[in-house]
Chain A
Amino acid sequence: MDNILKIENLHINYGSIKALKGISLEVNSGEIVTILGANGAGKSTLLRCISGLIPVHKGDMLFYNKSLKNREAYHIVIDGISHVPEGRRVFATLSVEENLNLGAFNRRADRQLVLERKERAYSLFPILKERRKQLAGTLSGGEQQMLAIGRGLMSDPKLLLLDEPSLGLAPILVKQIFHIIKEINKQKVAILLVEQNARKALSVSHRGYVLETGNITLKGSSSELRNDKKVQEAYLGGAALKNK
């Protein structure tokens, strides 16, 4: 398989707490992969580990067959992985445009390239262009999420890590964000998606994994997961999916 990210037997400890207990997963090129799981299952931990924010305890992560272990977070961005963190984390006292510029920090010398990528982000999120001079902290929650995603795309990643992109957003915005996720994926960006909104997440993704207290307990295509009894009960609110 042409997997671009391959995680093998990954262990992560926070002190004496074992957050991830030997998980393995892959992301193939052009795929959207969802990770389902309750709060505290280790989903964000996994993403934070891939992007180099927390160290690996055991196991390995390969990106295009190159190990990400012991690589600094800022190198991993250059390698082609972009992480849009939970809670958006936009730089509140910087303008929208500055936030976007920072997404392409390592290519800042190439003004033309940065400009092109910014235009691409603006075409995905026209509202950001309107608000480009505004401070990011003055944007609404939905706009901040758009900015966070747009900023994440500025480094032209091959793999985008999205942590709870719909968290705290109104239903209409949730719909919009998931539409954008599909759009981004069409531009040949693989996406690893962590989402509480399992129904929405499975509707856009190709495959998924279920993470429970540090272990992967189930994996399969999105439709398999949608029809799985346990998944339905635990993550899809129990009721059978009528609209699918």
Chain B
Amino acid sequence: MKLIIEQLLNGLTIGSFYSLIAMGYSMVYGVMKLINFAHGDFFTFGSYMGYTLLVMGITFITSTLGVWGGMIAAMLIAAISSGVLGLTVERIAYRPIYPAGRLPAVVSALGASIFIQNAIMIIWGPRPHAYTSDVIPGFILNIAGFRINILQIIILLLSFLLMGILYYIVQKTTFGAAIRASALDRETAALMGININLIIFFIFALGPALGGVAGVMVGMYYRKISFIMGWNFGLKAFTATILGGIGNIPGAMVGGLILGVLEMLGSTYLSTAYKDVFVFLVLILVLLFRPTGILGEKIAEKV
């Protein structure tokens, strides 16, 4: 019982990383119909920017702001730099080839992914880096026999807060309705007075920014970061996106959490080595029996 609860908590934590990344995937796919394969690398970039601020600039950031303040500062830097990178990639790698159709844009996204990965490798070196323990906040709490790291709880709460904010924007505000409307029918959205460039700016800034924050969280949670980690996390987040229903923001959140929990339970009770097999098996099953994803639904348009 204790193991289950601990592993559920771990699963939710990992799942919240997937969710944060998945929301960016989903927003971009929804509006642009583009699978943004570079999205996982925005996450890596954010993680490295946070690392640079904290570990390379440790003496002044952590000593002035404290470890928690340092964490927030790293997340802000990661969000801003990943957001700027996202907008830059959109401008350079995607915008010029939108007229060519969807497939060339996907190929360009793959190219952007490889480019960013290699750029990170050149800038920071090919060897993994570590968020050292002197910059990582948190302490172990003993609650009713459970050993819980407070960092994990904070990460979870922060993820849920960010997801909640994005959920609110996308589902409850008129601006969010404009995002969803642009995803459904861009031409009619323009007739409503919606400037599509404003929507594109929003999704390509905010999606990567959330990925960047997740990058710092992953750095603090696993401590080790590497220039290729965006591939694995990106793939999982993409799976989460499909699991929840692509283009559907709440679906991406739910899909990420489910995926994280499944992965943790799978590695606890089945096999650590086969945890990914377990995850993708579930994906295949969902696609077989509910191709639109868990929350994805298609409403037939009446004529």
**A residues neighboring B (CB under 8 Å):** 51-53, 72-74, 77-78, 82-83, 85, 87, 89, 91-94, 98, 101-103, 105-106, 108, 114, 135, 137-141, 144, 151, 155, 168
State how many angstroms separate the Cβ of A51 from the closest Cβ of chain B: 6
Report B-chain residues with C-beta under 8 Å of the C-beta of A92: 184, 299, 301
Determine whether B302 belongs to the interface, using a CB cutoff of 8 Å to chain A: yes
CB–CB B177/A93 < 8 A: no
Task: Determine the chain B residues whose CB is within 8 A of the CB of A78 once the complex forms.
Answer: 193
Asked whether B174 is an interface residue with its Cβ less than 8 Å from the other chain, the reply is yes
> Are A94 and B177 in touch, CB under 8 angstroms?
yes
A137 in contact with B174 (CB, 8 Å): no
Instruction: Find the residue from A52, A77, A105, A151 having the highest chain B CB count within 10 A.
Output: A105
Interface residue ranges of B257-303 to A (CB < 8 Å): 297, 299-303
Given A91-B185, A135-B299, also A101-B174 (CB < 8 A): yes
Contact A77 B193 (CB under 8 A): yes
Tell me whether A74 and B195 are in contact in the complex, defined as CB-CB below 8 angstroms, given that A102-B174, A139-B302, A141-B303 are known contacts: yes
Chain A residues lying within 8 Å of B191, measured Cβ to Cβ, are 51, 53, 73, 77, 82-83, 85
* B235-276 Cβ-contact flags toward A at 8 Å (1 or 0): 000000000000000000000000000000000000000000
Q: Is the CB of A85 within 8 A of B188?
A: yes
Contact B300–A108 (Cβ < 8 Å): no
Q: Beyond A91-B180, A91-B181, A93-B180, is A77–B192 a contact (Cβ under 8 Å)?
A: yes
Residues of A within 8 A of B196 (CB): 74
Ranked 7 nearest A-B pairs via Cβ: A77-B193, A137-B299, A73-B190, A108-B174, A98-B177, A89-B188, A106-B193
| Contacts A85-B187, A151-B192 known; 16 new A-B pairs at CB < 8 A | A89-B185, A89-B187, A91-B177, A91-B184, A92-B184, A92-B301, A93-B297, A94-B177, A98-B174, A102-B174, A102-B177, A102-B189, A103-B192, A106-B193, A137-B300, A155-B193
Residues of A near B34 (CB, < 8 A) are: none
Residues of B within 8 A of A106 (CB): 193
CB of A173 to closest CB in B, whole Å = 13
Q: Is B175 an interface residue when CB atoms closer than 8 A count as contact?
A: yes
CB distance from A92 to the nearest CB of B (A): 5
Can you name 28 A-B residue pairings with CB atoms under 8 Å? A51-B191, A53-B191, A74-B193, A74-B195, A77-B192, A85-B187, A89-B188, A91-B177, A91-B185, A92-B299, A93-B184, A93-B297, A93-B299, A94-B180, A94-B181, A94-B184, A98-B180, A101-B174, A101-B177, A102-B178, A102-B192, A102-B194, A105-B174, A105-B194, A135-B299, A141-B302, A151-B192, A155-B193
Within 8 A of A (CB), among B135-186: 174-175, 177-178, 180-181, 184-185
Contacts of B297 in A (CB 8 A): 93
Query: B residues within 8 A CB of A141?
Result: 302-303
CA distance A138 to B302 in the complex (A): 7
**Interface on B for A, CB 8 Å cutoff?**
174-175, 177-178, 180-181, 184-185, 187-196, 297, 299-303
Query: How far apart are A8's CB and chain B's nearest CB, in angstroms?
Result: 24
**Distance between Cα atoms of A202 and B299 in the complex (Å):** 36
Q: How far is the CA of A91 from the CA of B178 in the complex (A)?
A: 10
* Chain A nearest Cβ from B114, distance in angstroms: 35
Residue of A nearest to B175 (CB): A108
Q: Which residues of B contact A89 (CB under 8 A)?
A: 185, 187-188
Chain A residues closer than 8 Å to B195, beta-carbon distance: 72, 74
Bound together, the chains give a CA A140 to CA B303 distance in angstroms of: 8
Which residues from chain B contact A168 at a C-beta distance below 8 Å? 303
Closest CB in chain B relative to A101 CB, distance in Å: 5
Chain B residue at minimum C-beta to C-beta distance from A95? B177
Chain A residues whose CB sits within 8 angstroms of the CB of B180 once the complex forms: 91, 93-94, 98
User: A114 CA to B175 CA in the complex, in Å?
Assistant: 14
- A87 and chain B: residue at smallest CB distance: B303
A82 to B192 alpha-carbon distance, docked (Å): 8
Chain B residues positioned under 8 Å from A87 (CB to CB): 303
Chain A residue at minimal CB-CB distance from B198:
A74
CB-based nearest A residue for B302: A141
CB-based contact B190/A53 at 8 Å: yes
User: Are A137 and B185 in contact, with the CB atoms below 8 A?
Assistant: no
B303 / chain A contacts, CB cutoff of 8 Å: 87, 141, 168
How long is the Cα–Cα vector from A85 to B174 in the complex, in angstroms?
A: 21
What's the least CB distance linking B181 to chain A, in Å?
A: 5
User: Which residues of B lie under 8 Å from residue A151 when comparing CB positions?
Assistant: 192
- A51 / chain B contacts, CB cutoff of 8 Å: 191
B190 touches A105 (CB 8 A): no
B185 to A138, Cβ gap below 8 A?
no
Task: State the CA gap A78–B297 with chains docked (Å).
Answer: 33
Give the complex CA separation of A61 and B43 in angstroms: 48
Measured between alpha carbons, how far is A140 from B178 in the docked complex, in Å? 23
> CA separation between A144 and B302, bound complex, in Å?
9
Q: Which of B174, B178, B192, B299 contacts A138 (CB 8 A)?
A: B299
